[in-house]
Amino acid sequence: MPPEPMPSGPPWSGHGQWPQANQALRTLARKPAAAPARELARRFAEARGFLAPFMERLCAATCPRCLDPCCVRARLWWGFADLAFLHLAELPLPLKQMTYAPGGACPHLGPHGCHLERPLRPWVCDWHLCPEQKARLGGWDQGERRELVQVLERARGLRKQMLEALVQGVG
In whole angstroms, give the CA distance from residue 167 to residue 169. 6
Near ligand SF4 by CB under 6 A, which window of 11-19, 26-34, 60-68, 152-160? 60-68
Residue 3 found at the interface with ligand SF4 (CB under 6 A): yes
Report the distance separating Cα 116 and Cα 73, nearest Å. Answer: 18
Contact pattern from residue 133 through residue 152 relative to ligand SF4, giving x for each residue in contact according to CB under 6 A and a dash for the rest: x-------------------
Rounded to whole angstroms, how far apart are CA atoms 126 and 18? 23
71 binds ligand SF4 (CB under 6 A): yes
Interface pick for ligand SF4 out of 21, 66, 93, 170 (rule CB under 6 A): 66
118 counts as binding ligand SF4 under rule CB under 6 A? no
Give min distance, CB of 117 to ligand SF4, in A. 10
**How far apart are alpha carbons 153 and 141 in whole angstroms?**
19
Q: Toward ligand SF4, which CB reaches closer, 6 or 170?
A: 6
Q: How far is the CB of 141 from ligand SF4 (least distance, A)?
A: 21
Query: Rounded CA gap, 39 and 18, in Å?
Result: 25
Q: Which is nearer to ligand SF4, 62 or 97 (CB)?
A: 62
At closest approach, how far in Å is the CB of 64 from ligand SF4? Answer: 8
> Alpha-carbon distance 71 to 107, whole Å?
9
**What are the distances in angstroms from CA 124 to CA 16, 20, 30?**
26, 24, 25
Question: What one-letter code names the amino acid at 80?
Answer: F
Nearest to 149 by CA among 64, 50, 78, 68: 50
Choices 43-51, 68-76, 79-87, 139-147 (CB under 6 A): range interacting with ligand SF4:
68-76
> Alpha-carbon distance 162 to 160, whole Å?
5
Residue ranges binding ligand SF4 (CB under 6 A):
1-3, 59, 62-63, 66, 69-71, 74, 106, 108-109, 114, 116, 121-122, 125, 130, 132-133
